[in-house]
Chain A
Amino acid sequence: MATLARILATLAFLALMLAGLGFVAAHLAGRDTREQLASAFSGTDLLKGRFTAALDKQVIAALPKMSGLEGLLSGLSYRVLGDAGALVRAGCPGWLFYAEELVETPGGDAHFAARLKLAAKIRDALAAKNVALVVLPVPDKAMLAAEQLCGVPVAAQARGRFGAWWAQSRALGLDQVEIAPGWPAANGFLRTDTHWNVPGAKFAAARVADAVKRRLGPGAQAMKLDETAPKPRVGDLMRLAGLDRSWPWSGPQPDVEPEVSLAIARTGGLLDDVPAPQVVLAGSSFSRNSGFLEFLQAGTGTEVAQRSRDGSGFAGQLLEILMDQPEILAQTRLVVWEFPMRALTRPLSEAERRFLGDAT
């Protein structure tokens, strides 16, 4: 019996290798692949292993993606072990959390201290341009929806991030919006996503709108807010955990959310020219999700220019504007700077180090 097993295993092994080789050969014969490899083909590249590194990438690209099977593995791992991959943790049934909100980041305290300095420099840079600043630090989902963690541990550093920011940033004199008091707990977040849901976005936007109106006064633009019927929404944490591809039984059910839209009635001048918005929203993916921008505009009665970017982190998008696109701020009276508090302890980005004047 062992011999039969060995014969079958050997045949399957050889078949798998030859099939893989067939895919690789077909891919390498392609014109684009040959051109890409040719660009890495030089004496130095060969000597330093850069050509073979480029070849490795092409081999990986050549192989068919087995997303169905990978999804099955992810789903089984989630169902059997409660494991949601390296970047996600599974909380109460159906609830997912971004691991970054829970773990300890080496050197996190130093990164946090550097970001306090960064915030002071941003405050000064905007003040020098006579632009008002409203800051919205978004607490971690793991903190605001803590009752859905179901025992998933949270590192002391992650747990202390919120309190440390509020304790130490007050001295900076920033106009900050605090959304934790009165937050609708787990009802303010999507189960399968790191972001807030529509009620959460609405709540946060209302708090920010109050701060904006205190600085600029209420706007008078006519707007019409609209929400579609709720429909399934696969969260980013589901995708990150590989659970979006799995069979319905094997992962959490997607959230069900409406989509929010806003129609602004603009009245142009003689040549139909519309003045640029005086408020700029420069934040992260939170500002781009669940209708936050729309609720903010509706709440202020003012058109807000969306300059937020997914993956902006602490101040990625704002620094890009300040350092590379300062003309955006020429007619701006106020900037809303939103950032996720989990970004406070992350290692500094190249742009952040550059803005701090740290060349290393």
Chain B
Amino acid sequence: MVFASDSFLFLFLPVFLIVYALTPGAARNLAILAFSWLFYAWWRADFLPLIVSIAIWSWATGLWIARAEGGGRRRALVVGIIWPLASLVWFKYANMFVHSAGALGASVWGWQDVLLPIGLSFFVFGAISYSTDVFRGTVRAEPSFVNYATYQSMFGHLVAGPVVRYEWVAQRLKERTFHRAEFMFGVERFMLGFAQKVLIADTLAPLVDAGYALAAPTTADVLLAVAGYTLQLYFDFSGYSAMAIGLGLMVGLKFPENFDNPYLATSLSDFWRRWHISLSSWLRDYLYIPLGGNRGSTGRVSMNLLVTMGLGGLWHGASWTFLIWGLWHGFGLMVGRVWKTFGLPGTGAVLGHVLTLAFVMVGWALFRAQSWAQAGVIFSGLAGANGIALSPAMGAAVRPLEIATLVLGIGFIYLPKLLRIDPAAPNPGHALRAWTALPLFLFAVLVLQGRIVVPFLYFQF
């Protein structure tokens, strides 16, 4: 089930909120947990045991890690991590390795592709961070399975993030009271996230699909498609994150912000401080720093960056194109670091912003490609192999509404700059958001209904 659906809006969420409101305080986590598992089973119930088993495993080994001493503590950590990690490797990467082996002539006889359970990557990263934090002593092991499983499975972040850490919600899982203002703010965040997902991201999807479907795109075709994808990805993912944050607030759980105007970044490292913050900080704290982080020689630090970003790329999807995308960013961060180390002159904010955006967009062009062949078509198109001007094929495929949405999306990206909203202020842009949330949400709900009707009309032809 996705948030931007009728089943969620008009069946699941209202029933959940009613049950939650009627449940006594002590049992409210149980209500969240039951509905979260139902939410997951809505997709396919046969994968629910996997999710539950990881939750049980991490909770039990967390207690073991907390009680173990000396070398036993590290052994407990390894055991705690191994099952979630093995699940992730098997379900997410087995197909990729088998297909790659097949391409090299070592095919696996009788191989049946493994279906990837939704949300597994987020779930596993949550489990790993919990085990590691208990090992490090930064959090206490959670004695209640219901509390732990609620943290792991809360439907708000279960299938599309953000990557929530136990320490962020530990206190409120144990004790929380209803705050009207917080609930209302949660509703507002949910409505705005819903609107940006439905009105911008989903509207741009056909434009992107059209560009990537062209057999011989021109430079302008690729630029248009990649610009569309740059906005689609941001508004889709940050919209989902906003909805997750909003849902969390409705039940008194505070998840940190996952995006901070990333397309206003003035350098690549700045971009990664603003984009998918829960993942980038996870990679920093549980991979980059354990690898050595910024300590050591320039060569060592560069290697740490490449490994971290390469694995981070692979986390996004089981394809070698994701690995190369991660390495692309690792390379960019490495160059930026070396540049600074040698004290070379800075680029300035405007040029830095333009260069960063161009670098990120080239990365997105690869990120969106579904195969090496498609990536080849896109990059040769970008290089002008099929001409420069917009092709009639792309012109015919793109709707005026999509172009208008693209312009609107760019406007929203730069709105904080134009309105001179200070992101560090306590309530940046709150009045504007508060007054626009409801109309935008209602408009999005209406658009969502209309989108369901269109395919039906087509079949009347």
Contacts and interface: CB of A to CB of B under 8 A. Distances in A.
Interface of A: 1-3, 5-10, 12-14, 16-18, 20-21, 23-24, 46-49, 52, 55-56, 59-60, 62-63, 65-66, 69-70, 73-74, 77, 81-83, 85-87, 89, 99, 102-104, 106, 152-159, 236, 239-240, 242, 285, 310-311
Given A104-B397, A155-B393, A159-B392, A7 B44 contact: no
B6 A56 contact: yes
A2 B431 contact: yes
Nearest to A158: B396
Contacts of B446: 66, 69-70, 73
B104 interface: no
B215 interface: yes
A17 B401 contact: no
**Residue of A52, A74, A102 with most partner-chain B CB within 10 A:** A52
A12 B393 contact: no
B159 interface: no
B187 A10 contact: yes
Contact of B434 (A9, A14, A102, A311): A9
A89 B450 CA distance: 18
A46 B45 contact: yes
Given A20-B6, A63-B6, 12 more contacts: A2-B431, A3-B434, A10-B183, A47-B46, A55-B11, A59-B10, A63-B449, A70-B446, A85-B399, A102-B396, A156-B393, A310-B461
A73 B183 contact: no
A13 B45 contact: no
B191 interface: yes
Interface string B42-59: 111110000000000000
Nearest to B433: A2
Contact of B393 (A56, A157, A240): A157
B430 A2 contact: yes
A250 to B, nearest CB: 15
B393 A103 contact: yes
B191 A9 contact: yes
B460 A83 contact: no
B45 A55 contact: no
Contacts of A3: 181, 434
Q: Which of B5, B44, B210, B393 has the most CB of A within 10 A?
A: B393
B400 A311 contact: no
Given A46-B45, A56-B7, A70 B453 contact: yes
B398 to A, nearest CB: 9
> Lowest 9 CB-CB distances: which A-B pairs, in order?
A20-B10, A153-B395, A155-B393, A5-B434, A9-B438, A102-B396, A83-B401, A153-B392, A104-B393
Interface string B414-442: 00000000000001001100110110011
A9 B191 CA distance: 9
Nearest to A77: B401
B109 interface: no
A152 B396 contact: yes
A261 B452 CA distance: 37
Contacts of B459: 311
A165 B5 CA distance: 44
Nearest to A43: B45
A81 B400 contact: yes
A10 B189 CA distance: 11
A7 B184 contact: yes
B26 interface: no
A290 B134 CA distance: 76
Interface of B: 1, 5-7, 9-11, 13-15, 17, 41-46, 181, 183-185, 187-188, 190-191, 206, 210, 213-215, 391-393, 395-397, 399-401, 404, 427, 430-431, 434-435, 437-438, 441-442, 445-447, 449-450, 452-454, 457-461
Contact of A2 (B1, B6, B395, B434): B434
Contacts of B183: 10
A8 B43 contact: no
Given A56-B7, A83-B401, A6 B395 contact: no
B119 to A, nearest CB: 14
A99 B461 contact: no
A239 B458 CA distance: 9
B392 A10 contact: no
Contacts of B427: 2
B70 to A, nearest CB: 44
A236 B453 CA distance: 15
A286 to B, nearest CB: 12
A240 B438 contact: no
14 contacts: A6-B185, A6-B187, A9-B184, A9-B441, A17-B13, A20-B10, A20-B11, A52-B43, A56-B6, A103-B393, A104-B396, A106-B213, A153-B396, A242-B453
Contacts of B5: 56
B187 A16 contact: no
Contacts of A82: 400
A60 B438 contact: no
A311 B397 CA distance: 22
Contacts of B214: 104
Q: Which of A9, A87, A104 is the most central at the interface, judged by chain B CB atoms within 10 Å of its CB?
A: A9
Contact of B11 (A59, A104, A155): A59
Nearest to A104: B393
B383 to A, nearest CB: 20
Given A236-B461, A239-B457, A155 B396 contact: yes
B192 to A, nearest CB: 10
Given A8-B438, A49-B42, A87 B396 contact: no
A196 to B, nearest CB: 16
B312 to A, nearest CB: 30
B14 A17 contact: yes
A48 B117 CA distance: 12
B396 A86 contact: no
Contacts of A12: 438, 442
B441 A13 contact: yes
B9 A17 contact: yes
B188 A9 contact: yes
